[in-house]
Amino acid sequence: MRIGVVGVAGRMGRLIAEEVAAGGHILSGGTERRESGHPVPDGIIAFPDLAALAAASEAVIDFTHADTAEHHAAVLAAAGTAWVLGTTGLSPNGDAAVARAAQAIPVVQSPNFGPGITLLLALAERLGAALPAAEYDAEIIEMHHRQKVDAPSGTAVGLGRAVAKGRGVRLEEVMDSGRDGHTGPRPPGAIGFAALRGGQVVGEHTVLFAAGTEHIALTHRAFDRRMFATGAVRAAAWTQGKPAGLYSMADVMGVG
Ligand code: NAD
């Protein structure tokens, strides 16, 4: 499959370009902004703009910047080229543009293209549905590097949301985060969060269901951002022959 990479000199862009080749696909080329200060890496065909890249590609992988979403949506929809969108932090207008584009082309959008995390989210929802909340206390434990400024991580919140969805409740109603001091006993049905910070941990997440007689724990450890690139290339290949629509990584993995 001919796959193009917009923003190919970015941190993710470079990894994605490598993974396109590693996945046995043809890297049609890439684009890069003049202002980025990073040229298109050697050996990759540089296209002047996204329209030219789209015309040469069956799918374009986009891990760039939220401000580009509306423009990229219009260009890719007009070209009829599938769009794998990993950029996060889109505005409501950006989200609306993505939904419009998905009427014309296949769009795979995910805040986390890691195949392992995608499976963990699906499993967390299933366990949440299967294990009675009155018996199984759900706790989400995460650890990240010392530079991380927010807690709990977006992925931890996503896992809590998945458990809550399985239980048929809204996370906001049951979230128990940042325990300290005299907290009183654990509220029944709470979904607890604990955030550890230290060293250079890329990202570790555990979903724990703790009952009186047993514990069930699912753990994911990320060692390298490359897992996002591998997943994005898998998503691009999956779009081949797919009708227009808005898809998630869970759809790509067959767990949606
Ligand atoms: P980066 O800054 O290293 O690269 C951004 C790229 O986008 C550069 O090539 C840059 O030139 C290009 N770009 C195009 N238009 C731009 C604009 N208007 N402003 C700034 N840059 C512009 O960033 P990165 O670490 O590669 O991350 C890129 C995006 O991917 C971010 O939104 C990040 O949150 C997201 N991301 C998503 C996942 C996922 O699984 N969905 C994983 C990692 C990162």
* Residue 179 to residue 181: CA distance in whole angstroms: 7
* Residue 232 to residue 85: CA distance in whole angstroms: 8
pLDDT band at residue 149 using 50, 70 and 90 as cut-offs? confident
Nearest to 206 by CA among 86, 123, 147, 130: 123
Say if ligand 1 is within 6 A of residue 12 CB. yes
- 182 has catalytic annotation: no
Nearest to 47 by CA among 83, 85, 3, 11: 3
Interval between CA 244 and ligand 1 midpoint (Å): 25
Interval between CA 33 and ligand 1 midpoint (Å): 12
pLDDT at 88 over 90: no
Return the pLDDT at 197: 97
Instruction: Using the atom order of ligand 1, give the atom closest to the CA of residue 36.
Output: 11
Instruction: Using the atom order of ligand 1, give the atom closest to the CA of residue 88.
Output: 32
* Residue 6 to residue 3: CA distance in whole angstroms: 10
How far, in Å, are 204, 231, 256 from residue 115 at the CA level?
14, 6, 12
pLDDT at 89 over 90: no
Report residue 1 CA to chain centroid gap: 22
| Model pLDDT for residues 161-170, shown as the tens digit of each residue | 999 999 999 9
Q: Is 242 exposed, middle or buried (0-12, 13-18, 19+ CB in 10 A)?
A: middle
CB atoms inside a 10 Å sphere around CB 21: 14
Catalytic residue among 65, 148, 165, 242: 148
Interval between CA 7 and ligand 1 midpoint (Å): 7
Q: What are phi and psi of 106, to 5 degrees?
A: -70, 130
Nearest to 1 by CA among 230, 226, 228, 236: 236
- 148 has catalytic annotation: yes
Return the pLDDT at 217: 98
Say if ligand 1 is within 6 A of residue 64 CB. yes
**Residue 85: which residues within 8 A CB-CB, separation 6 or more?**
62, 69, 72, 98, 107, 108, 109, 110
**Residue 39: which residues within 8 A CB-CB, separation 6 or more?**
9, 32, 46
Instruction: Pick the residue whose CA is nearest to atom 37 on ligand 1.
Output: 86
| Model pLDDT for residues 94-133, shown as the tens digit of each residue | 999 999 999 999 999 998 999 999 999 999 999 999 999 9
Say if ligand 1 is within 6 A of residue 109 CB. no
| Model pLDDT for residues 17-44, shown as the tens digit of each residue | 999 999 999 999 999 999 988 999 999 9
Nearest to 152 by CA among 139, 137, 166, 170: 139
